[in-house]
Amino acid sequence: MITGYDTVLVCAQSPSRAVRRFLDRLHRDRPDLRVAVEPGDDPSFRPWGAGREIPTGRAEVLVAEDEEMIQRWDEDGYHLSPTGTGPLMISFEPCRVPRLRARVLENPYGDNGLGFAPHEVTLVGTDLFLVTIVTPDADSAYSTSVIDRLAECLTGL
């Protein structure tokens, strides 16, 4: 089985609008962008643009920059193309628990001059969503840029 690299983000409300913004931004750079949305009225790859909807509760969104990438995806899975881009999958669903334990690796208080050591925290919320983006790898310029871009769109909810 050919798989990609999963990055899980947690956000405080349905990410459907943020995912749409993310796709709109990708579409500006890649006019032949093809997207498949499940569940949806037609889960096949179609051009991205006006009239396409992202469900609010849960969804799986497959993203390819063109028809050629769709064909390569079927054959090679998540891979970086010669241009340094690759296919993506974004899925989201409501978090099924009201609390999540996590390990904080960056100071959530900012640089307050007191030093910082990684530690355990508990995220608490009633409208948390888990957003998973699957990229071809963990650290290519392309993968880090699309992960960062999706996180920025989620922050702007």
Q: What is the pLDDT of residue 2?
A: 62
Give residue-wise pLDDT tens across range 8-22: 999 999 999 999 999
SS3 label, residue 122: strand
Q: What is the pLDDT of residue 1?
A: 42
Mean per-residue pLDDT over the chain, rounded = 91
Give Cα separations from 90 to 20, 59, 84, 95, 146 (angstroms): 11, 8, 19, 15, 11
SS3 label, residue 47: strand
Residue with tokens 């849960």: 58
Give residue-wise pLDDT tens across range 43-102: 799 999 878 889 999 999 999 999 989 988 888 888 888 888 999 999 999 999 999 999
Q: What is the pLDDT of residue 47?
A: 94
42 has a pLDDT exceeding 80: no
Mean pLDDT, residues 16-32: 95
Indicate the helix (H) or strand (E) that contains 103: strand 99-104
157 has a pLDDT exceeding 60: no
Nearest to 40 by CA among 67, 62, 12, 15: 62
